[in-house]
Chain A
Amino acid sequence: MAWLLASVSSLIAQASDLEGQVSLDSQVLSEIFYFYTVVVMWLIHVGFMAYEAGAARRKNIMSTAMKNILTIAVVTPSFYYFGWYIYGCFEHGGPAEGHAGPSEVPGFCGLTAPWSSGMGPNLADHLSAVFFLAFLLFSWTTGSIMSGALIERVRLSAYLILTTLLGSAVWIMDAAWGWSSGGWLTTNYGFHDSIASLVVHGVAGAFALGVLVNLGPRIGKYDREGRARTFRGHNTHLTLMGLMLIFTGFYGFYAACLFITSTSFPGWLNIYGSFTTLGAIAWVITFGFAGGFTGGWFASKGDPFWTLSGGLAGVISVSAGADVYHPSLAYLLSTSGGMLAVWSGTWIEKKLRVDDAVGAVAVHGVCGFYGVFLVGIFAGGFPTGLNNVESSFGGQLIGMLAFFPLAFLPGYIVSWILKYFNLLRVPPEVELEGLDMAEFQQDFFPEFERVPETIVLPTGEEVESAPILLDAFTQVNGHRAGVRVREERRMR
């Protein structure tokens, strides 16, 4: 009898050890997984840099690329010091109660303050750091989305201020509200945006729109009748390669939006805590590209830039429901998304007369909102989150109504303040000459002969740009004379 008891006791001890080992293995598996999603997501930023630099004219290449690089320099510390805390503690709209010290705040919120045990070396915590890093990469992405829209006339420093605000406060606030299992939009309305159509892309697009209103178009973009001209990017191949790198990085982005629960079926949870699989979302993203390319190609009549941008728009259009959509549904919806991006981009440029240099507002903003809208139609009734609150068209609409002003207004207000102090846009002389010469005092293709810069007229005719830009410069310079005098006085 004593022998039997000893054996049972030994078995229980071994089972307990095994359970502890499985739990540790599960945590380390998650740690490794998220670490490598971060590595893959770096490609998004390599891609954004190439994409935007290719779309810039030769005279603005490095000033364009430098924005993407320095996004990392400003968003990383600001997200560490403020952004992650907002995500952890603002789920109910405002900060959680009991903030006398981090040790007094229980749960995830208590691990997000920069001095807490979740934000530094901690042998007992394998997850906090990698979750933070994955979200940090999402934050860089929001900044890079805005970056492309503003190129060739925004000041680098103005962009850095704006991207700090967007990447470390605005988007992460909406993520706390509608992209977490405890967010008020999730728990009250079943808001469903599983792979961040709106919370990353739509919000960044709306913020960029607010900035563009104050920033104004590039010199010469519109003629005296308000018709749009087109600037030729210096290297479309580089732009397309950049987009392909972004697409590669998106697989890491999608994967990082899931949680591993290796001890329970089916092993994966979306950001709200609902079951899904990695394969399901990989299906949707791949069909999203297929449909988006198709839609972009036909809507733009085969334009290479819009065909690839259509792929991005297609994926963004189906991201919100990526955990529940059938691949065929994703194919159909993403085709419509690719078309919508082309049409809305043309409308924004020609009718709204907003100069978005890469179509970011259309691709990310419009299609981000469209993606959440589609979930309300095609996945209404699907249970969202730990409490299985049904997603609905009304819930999706409330999310859209909450997030548009949350994104647009900060972008508009802060860019207005920067504009008031003449810190938003480069001087017109510098814009005409090219930003690289003022910022870096050099041409970045020193061994290649310059040829006259060209511009495409509203009629489609491509002509030399110099007379047109000089004429437009004269108009702009007249309008800005007062600003310049004030600035010169201040400098003296």
Chain B
Amino acid sequence: MIDSFPFDEFSENLTSFWTFGPEDSTGTYILTALGVILMVVALIGWVWLENRKLWAQAELLRAAGGMPAPGGVPPGPGPSQPPLAGPATDPGD
């Protein structure tokens, strides 16, 4: 069975389907359609994911009970919040 399978013919058909060539352009159309779909889905994904990130961070900041320090870091785990006013910490400290 294995010996009788037309590997060469199968390989040629596959190649002509998925690559550029005069024999069969169906694969090219399919690849184009898949590429366009990926492009659109990626754009939608960027919008969706960023929207979630931004609103989650905004919620966190509001829940902290105060307005964020300009250029500061959020409350919670991580570096401590810098003061809104007052002398800057000496880098040498």
A433 touches B71 (CB 8 A): yes
B46 touches A156 (CB 8 A): yes
| A70 / chain B contacts, CB cutoff of 8 Å | 46
Q: Which of A12-20, A302-310, A380-388, A450-458 contacts B (4 or more CB under 8 A)?
A: A450-458
| A446 / chain B contacts, CB cutoff of 8 Å | 79
Within 8 A of B (CB), among A404-445: 423, 426-427, 429-430, 432-434, 437-439, 443
CB distance from B59 to the nearest CB of A (A): 8
A423 touches B85 (CB 8 A): no
Bound CA span A160–B85, Å: 36
- In this assembly, does B91 line the interface, its C-beta being within 8 Å of a C-beta of chain A? yes
Contact pick for A157, options B47, B73, B88, CB 8 Å = B47
CB distance from A293 to the nearest CB of B (A): 33
| A217 / chain B contacts, CB cutoff of 8 Å | none
B36 touches A438 (CB 8 A): no
CB distance from B72 to the nearest CB of A (A): 6
CB distance from B3 to the nearest CB of A (A): 33
A430 touches B89 (CB 8 A): no
A81 touches B88 (CB 8 A): no
| A437 / chain B contacts, CB cutoff of 8 Å | 57, 73-74
B62 touches A429 (CB 8 A): yes
User: With A77-B35, A453-B70 as given contacts, are A433 and B61 in contact (CB-CB < 8 Å)?
Assistant: yes
Q: Which of A208-216, A235-243, A366-374, A464-472 contacts B (4 or more CB under 8 A)?
A: A464-472
CB distance from A257 to the nearest CB of B (A): 27
- In this assembly, does B11 line the interface, its C-beta being within 8 Å of a C-beta of chain A? no
B32 touches A122 (CB 8 A): no
CB distance from B58 to the nearest CB of A (A): 4
Bound CA span A429–B84, Å: 15
Bound CA span A271–B61, Å: 53
- In this assembly, does A108 line the interface, its C-beta being within 8 Å of a C-beta of chain B? no
Q: Which of A33-41, A86-94, A112-120 contacts B (4 or more CB under 8 A)?
A: A112-120
A115 touches B67 (CB 8 A): no
Within 8 A of A (CB), among B9-58: 19-20, 25, 28-29, 32, 35-36, 38-39, 42-43, 46-47, 49-51, 53-58
Bound CA span A434–B81, Å: 13
| B74 / chain A contacts, CB cutoff of 8 Å | 433, 437
Bound CA span A446–B78, Å: 11
| B54 / chain A contacts, CB cutoff of 8 Å | 155, 426-427, 430, 438-439
Identify the closest chain A residue to B92 (Cβ): A449
| A114 / chain B contacts, CB cutoff of 8 Å | 32, 35
User: With A77-B39, A156-B46, A443-B79 as given contacts, are A473 and B67 in contact (CB-CB < 8 Å)?
Assistant: yes
| A122 / chain B contacts, CB cutoff of 8 Å | 20
B84 touches A466 (CB 8 A): yes
What is the predominant secondary structure among interface residues of chain A facing chain B? helix
Residue total for A at the interface (Cβ-Cβ under 8 A):
53
A453 touches B71 (CB 8 A): yes
User: With A433-B61, A450-B82 as given contacts, are A161 and B47 in contact (CB-CB < 8 Å)?
Assistant: yes
Contact pick for A469, options B42, B70, B73, B89, CB 8 Å = B70
Residue total for B at the interface (Cβ-Cβ under 8 A):
40
User: With A156-B46, A157-B46, A453-B70 as given contacts, are A121 and B19 in contact (CB-CB < 8 Å)?
Assistant: yes
User: With A77-B35, A122-B20, A466-B85 as given contacts, are A157 and B70 in contact (CB-CB < 8 Å)?
Assistant: no
User: With A74-B43, A156-B50, A157-B46 as given contacts, are A433 and B70 in contact (CB-CB < 8 Å)?
Assistant: yes
Bound CA span A438–B73, Å: 10
CB distance from A85 to the nearest CB of B (A): 11
- In this assembly, does A59 line the interface, its C-beta being within 8 Å of a C-beta of chain B? yes
A470 touches B70 (CB 8 A): yes
| B46 / chain A contacts, CB cutoff of 8 Å | 70, 156-157, 160
CB distance from B68 to the nearest CB of A (A): 4
Contact pick for B32, options A81, A160, A427, A452, CB 8 Å = A81
Bound CA span A144–B63, Å: 36
A81 touches B35 (CB 8 A): yes
- Chain B residues with a Cβ under 8 A of chain A: 19-20, 25, 28-29, 32, 35-36, 38-39, 42-43, 46-47, 49-51, 53-58, 61-62, 67-74, 79, 82, 84-85, 88-89, 91
29 A-B pairs, CB-CB below 8 angstroms? A58-B71, A77-B35, A77-B36, A81-B32, A114-B35, A115-B32, A120-B28, A122-B20, A155-B54, A157-B46, A157-B47, A158-B47, A164-B43, A427-B54, A427-B57, A432-B68, A432-B70, A433-B61, A437-B57, A437-B74, A446-B79, A450-B71, A453-B70, A464-B85, A465-B70, A466-B84, A466-B85, A467-B84, A467-B85
- Chain A residues with a Cβ under 8 A of chain B: 57-59, 70, 73-74, 77-78, 80-81, 114-115, 117, 120-122, 155-158, 160-161, 164, 423, 426-427, 429-430, 432-434, 437-439, 443, 446, 448-453, 464-467, 469-470, 473-474, 487-488, 491
